[in-house]
Amino acid sequence: MLITTIVAQVSCAPAGDTSSSPPGPASPAAGASRVPPIETGLQLFRQGDLKGAEPYLAEALKSAPRDRRILELLGSIYARTDRPKQAEDSFRVALAVEPASVGARLGLAAVLVDTGRYDDAQVMLSDVRRSDPGNMTTRLKGALLDARLGRTAEAEAGARQVLARQPDSAEAHYVLGLALEQRAAFAEAAGEMRRVHALAPGHPGALSHLVTIETRLGRTAEAASWRRMQQEALARLHVENRVRDQRLKAVEAFNREDYKAALQEFLAIAREDPNDPQVYLHLGSTYMALGNLDEAKRALDRCLAIEPRNDRALAELGRLHALANRLDQAVDTLKKAIAVNPEFAEPHYYLAGVYMARGEPDRFQEEMKI
């Protein structure tokens, strides 16, 4: 049996739980994947790939417009990409669906703080405290509100309380940095903002405050360095704002199997943002859907040159090798994808297809257990 047929057969089975369902053509990031858009979006969101997650979550929302989980995730993405109106709308719809939702209330509270509606934010946080007194996210949002209102001691105490339990919380380090800056502890504040940058590279607030703090400390060279990073981060944000609609259109085109239209959109994004690994992953999947394996490989190689541990790109490259009947390379590449993310189902299923083609039923069965 041809390897292309085997990979196609394996990618359609087994039926059942979609959280571990095997691949089929649902998204460019999943190649020939039938994984529902919500599952792809969730995985990308958990990996911190917000621009990658958004098109899949937006697609999923079309078929489930009152799904609270999707609404909250999209609200979080909008809030973290400086779209407060869309974030607020998404969280309010989620609350209309489920008024007791803590996640929607906290998300909305954060938007209210960021847009200066402090009284409304306080009401929202108080509601959550009554229902969930020990919620650390509530404590952190309250500390941020304290910082915005100039309640420095309360903000510092709240941030430190969160950090005692969550030492790698970038937002808690940021709030602590704000409080320290407010009480003129500039050296300590700079240390906290550097910690934010280490945990969340490109954090716009941290970069902005580092420029200010280093300037006040008289460290001109350091301030200039942080200013360059701030300008680079803003430039990346501007590019992403320009291509966001194209990214949504491209994924929609791919999902309706209009691969030529998807290709044109992804190529346009690559011209605007030539260092975005996600677009080369999408290009690789699209070229494969069009049967152009050479261009697909070039695109996936480019993705992996930018982001060597991109599990989806490794899975797609492994699938490409299998389709080209390079079975040994397929096995090696798919094993790399699994090593990066053992819980990612697709490379296991692709690998099972390769083992079936090589007449190794025991290994086939082992991979199908995922």
Q: pLDDT (tens digit, 9 = 90+) per residue, 234-293? A: 988 888 888 988 999 999 899 889 999 999 999 999 999 999 999 999 999 999 999 999
167 lies in a domain? Answer: no
Mean pLDDT of the chain: 89
**Cβ(262)–Cβ(256) below 8 Å:** no
Q: Which residue has the tokens 């049996």?
A: 1
DSSP β-bridge partners for residue 34:
25
85 lies in a domain? Answer: no
Residues with Cβ within 8 Å of residue 355, at least 6 apart in sequence: 361, 363, 364, 367
108 lies in a domain? Answer: no
Rounded Cα distance, 154 and 122, in Å: 14
155 lies in a domain? Answer: no
Structural domain of residue 4, as residue ranges?
A: 1-48+245-370
137 lies in a domain? Answer: no
280 lies in a domain? Answer: yes
Global pTM exceeds 0.85: no
Output the pLDDT for position 335.
95
Q: Specify the DSSP class assigned to residue 22.
A: P
Q: Give the pLDDT band (50/70/90) at residue 116.
A: very high
324 lies in a domain? Answer: yes
Cis peptide before 22 (omega within 30 of 0): no
Q: What is the number of domains present in the chain? A: 1
**Cβ(91)–Cβ(72) below 8 Å:** yes
CATH of the domain at 31: 1.25.40.10
pLDDT tens across 340-354, in order? 999 888 899 999 999
Considering only 37-41, 95-99, 109-113, 214-218, which range has the smallest mean pLDDT? Answer: 37-41
Cis peptide before 14 (omega within 30 of 0): yes
312 lies in a domain? Answer: yes
**Cβ(84)–Cβ(78) below 8 Å:** yes
CA distances in angstroms from 43 to 40, 54, 358, listed in the order given: 5, 11, 31
Helix segments in 149-203, DSSP class H: 152-165, 170-182, 186-199
pLDDT tens across 44-92, in order? 898 888 888 999 999 999 999 999 999 999 999 999 988 999 999 999 9
DSSP β-bridge partners for residue 25:
34
Rounded Cα distance, 298 and 313, in Å: 12
Residues with Cβ within 8 Å of residue 56, at least 6 apart in sequence: 27, 29, 37, 38, 40, 41, 44, 251
**Cβ(19)–Cβ(346) below 8 Å:** no
